[in-house]
Chain A
Amino acid sequence: MNRRKNIKRSLLKFGFLVPAIFFFGVSMLIPFLLGIQVSFTSWDGISQKMNYIGLQNYSNIFSNSDILQPIRNTTYFAILITVFNNAFALGLALILNKKFAGNSKFRLIYFIPTCLSTVLACFVWKFLYREVFFQLFGINSLIGSMKTVIPGLVIISLWNGVAINMLIYLSALINVPKNLYDAAKVDGANVFQRFKNVTVPLIGPAFTTCVTLSLTYGLREFSVPMIATGGGPARSSETIAMYIYKHLFEYSKAGYGQAISIVFMVFLLIIGKTVSTIFRKREVEM
C-alpha cells in the first residue's frame, strides 16, 4: 500500500519534468545524438540517404588547410572581444558605482544598444563605417579591409553587448563593503592601490563569469560577421561557426561540417572549463 503510494508520488513529481523534457529532448538531446551519427557520414544536406564513411570526416579536418583561416579569425575575434568587453564593462561599472547626478539614467542609456537585434546593430554600423566615418574623418570602412575587419566587427559587438557584463560587474561592485575602502584609505593606499588590492580580489566571481562567458561567446560568434560582412573580404572575417553553416548551405558537405562542430564543441568545453578554473582559483572569500 505504502509502496504504491510512493510510486504514484514519484510519477506525479516526474510529471513536472515532462514539458521541459519534451522541448529539450526534441530540440537539443535528439539533434545532439543525431549529430554524432551524421558526423560519420558523407551526407550532403539534401539527399535522402546517408553513406557511412567512418572516421574519415574527422581525419579530413586535420589534413584540410582550409580550416586554418576560420580558426585564426575566430581566435583573433574571441581574444579582442574578451579583453575589450571586460575592460569596458568594468570601466563603465566603476563609473556607475560612483554617486553622481543622473547615475541611473546613464545606466539605462548604456543598456539601450543591447536591446537592438544584431541585424539592426550591424546595419547601422555598416552605414557609420562607410558613410559617416568617411565624411567626418576621411577613413575607409573598417570592415572593408582585410586588416581591420575583425576590430571593426568587435566594435559593433561591443556596442551591442557590453552592457550585460557591465551589469554583472556593477552588481559585484555594489556588494563590496565600503568599510574596506575606508580601512585602506587610513592605511595610506592611493586610488590605484585600493583598486588593485581591494576591488579586484573582491569582485573575483564577476571576473570568472564575465571572462568565461565572453570568451566562449566570442569563440562561437556567428551573427555579427554573418550579417555585417558575410565572412568577407576574402574570407578574412569567416568564423568557425560560419564555416560550419557554409558546409550545410553552400558547400553541401553537411557530414564534414558536423564533424568539425563536434571537435569544436570539445575544444570549447575544455577552454571554458580551464579558464573558469584558473579564475576561480584566484577568487577570495569575502
Chain B
Amino acid sequence: MRSERISRIIVFIIAALIAVLFLFPFYICIVTAFKTPMETAQGVLALPSKLHWENFSKALEITNFSRSFLNSLITTTTSVVFIVICSSMCGYIIARNLKKFRYRLCETILLGAMMVPFQVIMIPVYKMLKLSNMMNTLPGLIILLVGTSIPYSTFLYIGFVKLVPRELEEAATIDGSGIYRTYWNIVFPLLKPITATVATLHVMWMWNEFNISLIVLQKEHVKTIPIQQFYFFGEYTTDLNLAFASACIAIIPILIFFIIAQKFLINGLMSGAVKG
C-alpha cells in the first residue's frame, strides 16, 4: 500500500509539472499585457511594477474590438443554430431509414465529405462568392461555415439517434401527430445530450475559425476576432504590450465559455470520438 501512495505522489508531481508547462504561455501573456515596452525589455518573466491598464483601453480602440466582437458573436451564434437544426434533422432521418438505399447513400456522401480538405473547395468558393456578391458579407461566411460543418455534426447525430428507442415516436404517431410535430416535440428533446456536445464543440470551432474567414472577410467592417488579430499582430509587432493586451481581451470570452461548457465538450469528445 505504501508503494501505491508513493506512485500516486510521483504521478501528481509529473502532472503538475506538465500543467505548469501548459500554463506558462498564459502567464507570459498576462504579465506582458500589463507592462510597458521598457519593462518587457528588462525582463520577460518579471511581474509588472505597476498595472498598466491603459494598454487594454488602447488595444480595444486600435483593434476596433467591439465591431469584431459583434461580428464574431453574430457569426458564431447564427451558424451554430443552423448547424444544430440542419444536422439534427438530417441525422435523425438518415439514422431511422438506413435500410433504404438513398439514405445510406446520403450517409456515405457525408462520410466522404469529411475527408475532403478545405483547399479543394477554396478556389471555387472564392469564385462563387465573387459572382454572387457574397464576398465580405457575414451571411456568405455563415452559409460556408454551416455547410462545411454539416458532415461531421450529422455524423455525430446519426450515431446518437441509433441508440434512442423508437417507442415514444411511434406512440406519438398513433396519437395522430404529424412527422414534423413528432420530431420537434418528442425526438428533438431526446437528443439533448448530443445537441449540447455538437453546439459546444461548434461554438469553439466557429469562434476560432480561420481558414474560411481569411478568404471571405477581407474588409474591415466584417472581420471577426481571429481575422482582426491576424492582421493586427502582423502590423503592430512593435508594440507588443498592446498586442498582448488585445490577446488577453480576446481570450476572456472563449475562456469563460469553455469553463461553463467544458462538461459537455469533454464528455462529448470522450464518448463520441471512438464510437463515431
Minimum C-beta distance from B243 to chain A (A)? 7
Given A116-B251, A223-B210, A262–B120 Cβ distance below 8 Å? yes
Given A26-B143, A168-B269, A115–B19 Cβ distance below 8 Å? no
Contact of B25 with A128 in the complex, beta carbons under 8 Å = yes
- Bound-state CA distance A30–B8 (Å) is 56
| Cβ–Cβ < 8 Å partners of B8 in chain A | 98-101
Which DSSP category, helix, strand, loop or mixed, fits chain A's interface?
Answer: helix
| Cβ–Cβ < 8 Å partners of A28 in chain B | 113, 116, 121, 147-148, 150-151
Contact of B229 with A116 in the complex, beta carbons under 8 Å = no
Contact with B along A1-45 (1 / 0, CB 8 A): 000000001001101110111011111101110110010000101
Contact of A254 with B123 in the complex, beta carbons under 8 Å = yes
Check if A67 is an interface residue, CB within 8 A of chain B.
no
Contact of A23 with B86 in the complex, beta carbons under 8 Å = yes
Contact of B269 with A164 in the complex, beta carbons under 8 Å = yes
- Bound-state CA distance A48–B22 (Å) is 50
Question: Which interface class (under 10, 10 to 19, 20 to 34, 35 or more) fits B?
Answer: 35 or more
| Cβ–Cβ < 8 Å partners of A128 in chain B | 25, 28
The residue on B at minimum CB distance from A97 is B11
Check if B198 is an interface residue, CB within 8 A of chain A.
no
Check if A95 is an interface residue, CB within 8 A of chain B.
yes
Stretch among A78-86, A103-111, A177-185, A193-201 lining the B interface: A103-111
Check if A58 is an interface residue, CB within 8 A of chain B.
no
- Bound-state CA distance A16–B92 (Å) is 8
Contact with A along B119-150 (1 / 0, CB 8 A): 11111111110000000000000011011101
Contact with B along A109-152 (1 / 0, CB 8 A): 11111011111100111011001100110000000000000000
Q: Given B9, B85, B119, B258, which contacts A261 in the complex, CB threshold below 8 Å? A: B119
Which DSSP category, helix, strand, loop or mixed, fits chain B's interface?
Answer: helix
Contact of A265 with B15 in the complex, beta carbons under 8 Å = no
Contact with A along B91-122 (1 / 0, CB 8 A): 01110010000000010001001011111111
Given A16-B90, A209-B273, A265-B116, A24–B127 Cβ distance below 8 Å? no
Chain B residues at the A interface, C-beta cutoff of 8 Å: 7-9, 11-12, 14-16, 18-19, 22-23, 25-26, 28-29, 32, 40, 43-45, 82, 85-87, 89-90, 92-94, 97, 106, 110, 113, 115-128, 143-144, 146-148, 150-151, 154, 178-180, 183, 204, 207-208, 210-211, 214, 225-226, 229-230, 233, 240, 243-244, 247, 250-251, 254-255, 257-258, 262, 265-266, 269-271, 273-274
- A sample of 25 cross-chain residue pairs with beta-carbon separation below 8 angstroms, ordered by A number, consists of A13-B97, A20-B154, A24-B147, A27-B146, A30-B128, A38-B124, A102-B15, A111-B258, A111-B266, A117-B207, A118-B226, A119-B210, A119-B229, A119-B230, A119-B233, A124-B25, A131-B40, A135-B43, A171-B270, A171-B273, A222-B118, A254-B126, A261-B122, A264-B119, A272-B115
